[in-house]
Amino acid sequence: MFRTILPSSRVKRCPPLVAPDGKTFDLLQKISAQTLFWNMCRQKHYRLPQQTPDPFLPIASEVLDVRTPAEFAEDHVPGARNLPVLSNQERVKVGTLYNEDRFAARKLGAALISANIGSMIQDDLIDKPKDYSPLVYCWRGGQRSGSLGIILSQIGFKVYLLEGGYRTYRQTVARDLQELPAKFKFLMLSGMTGVGKTYLLHRLQEQGEQVLDLEGAARHKGSILGLWAGETQPSQKAFESSLRNSLAQFNPSR
């Protein structure tokens, strides 16, 4: 234990106050000299992630989704990479224990997340350069994304955390699906099954036309033909993400 004293010139003082007896006296600023010293050290050496409300932050090197593989499979920010801090089974285990003993669940979760982050850094992030700046999110921008974000910040990376997590992204998708379609004039291609509508759409797209392929987004041929061979139909949320992503890339002036 040691004590550090700062010169009085380094500590700001509040204006003189008047006591009940009429005497005036000075009060040190609410922050003590020692606390001020440690805050200065923390600003210099203790880096923290920055919060952002933008799920498509353009300055981010990549987007890291730290939710479980099951959550990621249902839907995720386009282009995101899944680096789960808890597996599907581990999340169920922690969640079940949380209903019985919250403190015990937090300890178990911390142990599992710490071990997984260690492996993640060694296996997936060890070669990242110093200017690597990931955007990290979980379900609601809480403990899972914060756990990884703090450690990566301490390493020296500039880390961004998505405020509100995946829920913020879903709100963005819902808002954009209400607003974006009004910016365009759509021409619908229709015809009987098997006449080559999808083939024509793909050829138009290859020539630079803006094409919204609904069957492609649904991974489904429609009508009696059903799913694409070897494909799994996306969830409703993933389908909406695909539509929003396509519309956001279109140019309304064309």
220 DSSP assignment: B
- Give one word for 100, left, alpha or beta, with left for phi > 0 and alpha for psi -120 to 50: alpha
CA-based end-to-end distance of the chain = 69
Closest CA to 30 of 42, 17, 12, 16: 12
Amino acid at 150: I
What is the C-alpha separation between 61 and 126, in angstroms, rounded? 15
Q: How would you list the strands of the sheet with 50-52, edge to edge?
A: 50-52, 160-162, 135-137, 63-65, 81-82
Closest CA to 245 of 29, 78, 42: 78
DSSP-derived pairing of the beta strands 63-65 and 135-137: parallel
Tokens representing residue 139 in the block? 């379900």
Q: Which of 77, 125, 138, 162 is catalytic?
A: 138
191 contacts: CB under 8 Å, gap ≥ 6: 197
Is 14 a catalytic site residue? no
Active site residues: 138
